[in-house]
Copies of this chain bind each other. A is one copy, B any other.
Amino acid sequence: MTLSAEAAAEIAAQRAAEAPTRRAVVPALEALLYEPMPVLDQGFVRVVDYMGDDAAVVQAARVSYGKGTKQVSNDQGLINYLMRHRHTTPFEMCEIKLHVKLPIFVARQWIRHRTASVNEYSARYSVLDDGSYRPELAQLAAQAVNNRQGRGAELDPAVAERVRERLDEAAASAEATYHWLLGNPESEGGEASESGPGLSRELARMVLPLSSYTQWYWKIDLHNLLHFIALRADSHAQYEIRAYAEVLAQIVEQWVPLTAAAFRDYRTEGAALSGKGLQVVRRMLAGETVTRETSGLAAREWRELSAVLGLPPEG
């Protein structure tokens, strides 16, 4: 990830300026403020603003005049209770605003989360010139394997190298076409690459690949952010969006550590059992030997339940 000198200067200026506030302040998040946290080869997440802290969750849940409860241990207990019983509105009371640079195919998954506010860099009015995503070789290899279940062989390094060459060629070719389309038809100079039809930006962009980087400001409340992380930091999510979700999870740890702890225990490290799955567990705990056949579960559900319970799949 590289920033222009101008961008770096603007970030430094904002980090240098401090002012007193009566609002809740989270020093650990202040330390991160405005600084780009790198993701993928050229992407980043920057915390641009935030509102509230763990105590704000408690304060809202109690509709109180003052801050949270008197003791941190009480705050943790109440936050655990809220998380366990899915009282979601107190977690909506904290808000965060991020500046994110991300490939368009990731942006298309991301935007499916509708309860958030977005301002995206406009490729209708501006030239999109942020480069495109280039996966690491290790990632290319792994991705081939992951998605062709059980083949057991990674992509050959030479093949991965060849894949990356093709990706580079494709990106370079698309960018060249884009810039040619935008080019000034009146340019007289000898440079062929400089001249072009002067197509509108909004139309020229259509040749750009889905790997192109875009940028947006994204603002979301803590409840919906946790929901995003739960879905997108999950092992079923595509690697590229997972890379962003993991950075978001780190930000949450710094911002609201009590909420982050409850989220880990009740969501990411927990599990949902179906009614049939629960019956299987109850029977097992009562001493019965339950097999796939006697479980009443479909093969896939049996496999998933065995994994959750740490049992051998052929139980």
Contact = CB atoms under 8 A, between A and B. Distances in A.
Interface hub of A104, A115, A304 (most chain B Cβ within 10 A): A104
A204 to B, nearest CB: 9
A20 interface: yes
A192 interface: no
Given A200-B144, A238-B124, A275-B266, A89 B281 contact: no
A23 B50 contact: yes
A265 B284 CA distance: 19
Contact of A103 (B201, B206, B278): B206
Contact of A63 (B95, B99, B177, B238): B99
A272 B50 CA distance: 31
B275 A270 contact: yes
Interface hub of A135, A173, A207 (most chain B Cβ within 10 A): A207
A77 B300 CA distance: 11
A67 to B, nearest CB: 7
A143 interface: yes
Nearest to A142: B200
A203 interface: yes
A250 interface: no
Interface string A15-43: 10111111111000010011000000000
Report how many copies the assembly holds.
4
B275 A63 contact: no
Contact of A117 (B92, B202, B238): B92
A144 B204 CA distance: 10
Interface string A176-195: 01001100010000000000
A208 B210 contact: yes
A249 interface: no
Contacts of A64: 10
A105 B203 CA distance: 9
B199 A143 contact: yes
Interface in A218-251: 219, 221, 231, 236, 238, 240
Interface string A120-158: 111010000000010100001001101110000001000
A253 interface: no
A7 B65 contact: yes
A123 to B, nearest CB: 8
Contact of A197 (B3, B77, B108, B162): B162
A188 B185 CA distance: 47
Interface in A46-99: 48-52, 56, 59-61, 63-67, 77, 80, 84-86, 89-90, 92-93, 95, 97, 99
A272 B281 contact: no
Nearest to A91: B117
